[in-house]
Amino acid sequence: MVLGIVAAVAVLAVLALAVALLDRVCVALAERKASEYLSQPFGHPATVRVHGTPFLTQALRGRYNQVDVSGGGLRVGDMTGATLTAHLTNIYLPLRELLGGRTTELPCEQVTGQIVLPFGELARAARIPGLELRLVDDQLVASAALPVPGISQLARVSGEAVLSLDNGGSVWLRIRGVSVAGISLPGIVLNQLLPTLNVPIPIPELPYGLRLHELRPSPSGLVVAGSAEAVVFRRLNIRDDRPEV
């Protein structure tokens, strides 16, 4: 009797271990498969994490509740060196596709994401001569090499950079509190400079179909946040040097 109970417990323990191992293997498989669709903006495999336990129930029904994607080396239009972190809700990948199918689409109900654009790339896109942007004590500071009427043919002007969204979704850079060598400029001179210091910055189409909602500066660059609904990702064949699971 005792031996029978011990044997039953041992069998249950082995089964539990096998299920747990299978669960983890399926997680790795799902992350690899999802990466084939979600890595397109990067051109190389992104980091994909599928959340939720137990995982097998998600795999069996073909719907993954929470998936995170992150990666660097992103190109957004002509801007390079960007990074992306995204949170995806309810991704649909049938079990047969997970186990070797060749579907070309990966539907997703909702995506929220943040892209960090380097300040140097933003400065280049603004087309203000010699523009530099940097974060100083939580304030975005701009400086540029411009002709200042009545003062100098070329001087380094500086001020607070304000990045904002207009109603049409365009990004505007406005530089206020302008000074030269720490000396504020007279109003008549400032009025002549303002058209040069208030410019639109063209932000290319964002990956994952994200619609721009929010801007905020960070030590790494400008954080561009957005969201999208009912996104369909396409499969991309990219080289993946990671070891097989």
Alpha-carbon distance of 178 to 143, in angstroms, equals 9
pLDDT tier at 9, thresholds 50, 70, 90: very low
Query: Is the domain of 108 the same as that of 123?
Result: no
Does any domain span residue 221?
A: no
- Output the pLDDT for position 144: 85
Question: What average pLDDT does range 172-183 have in this prediction?
Answer: 82
- Output the pLDDT for position 150: 67
Structure tokens at 210: 């994200």
Q: Is 100 helix (H, G, I), strand (E, B) or coil?
A: coil
Query: Is the domain of 35 the same as that of 68?
Result: yes
Query: Is the domain of 73 the same as that of 147?
Result: no
- Output the pLDDT for position 83: 94
Whether residue 11 has pLDDT greater than 70: no
Higher-scoring residue by pLDDT: 212, 187: 212
| Average pLDDT along the chain | 80
Whether residue 116 has pLDDT greater than 90: yes
Strands 171-180 and 198-201: antiparallel
pLDDT tier at 244, thresholds 50, 70, 90: very low
Does any domain span residue 226?
A: no
Q: Name the one residue in this structure whose structure tokens are 């001087």.
A: 155
- Which stretches within the chain are classed as H helix? 2-38, 56-61, 95-98, 119-126, 187-197
Structure tokens at 74: 């992103």
Question: What average pLDDT does range 36-50 have in this prediction?
Answer: 88
Per the structure, the count of domains in the chain is 2
If phi > 0 it is left, if psi is from -120 to 50 it is alpha, else beta; for residue 153 that is: alpha
Query: Is the domain of 7 the same as that of 95?
Result: yes
Does any domain span residue 229?
A: no
Distances (CA, A) of 112 to 34, 88, 159: 17, 7, 33
Alpha-carbon distance of 115 to 121, in angstroms, equals 13
Count CB-CB contacts under 10 A for residue 76: 19
Alpha-carbon distance of 60 to 58, in angstroms, equals 5
Does any domain span residue 46?
A: yes
Does any domain span residue 160?
A: yes
Query: Is the domain of 174 the same as that of 157?
Result: yes
pTM of the predicted structure, to 2 decimals: 0.79
State the DSSP code for 24. Answer: H
- Which stretches within 91-143 are classed as H helix? 95-98, 119-126
- Output the pLDDT for position 14: 43
- Tens-place pLDDT, residues 219-233: 989 999 999 999 999
Query: Is the domain of 6 the same as that of 111?
Result: yes
Range of the domain at 137: 119-205
Query: Is the domain of 100 the same as that of 133?
Result: no
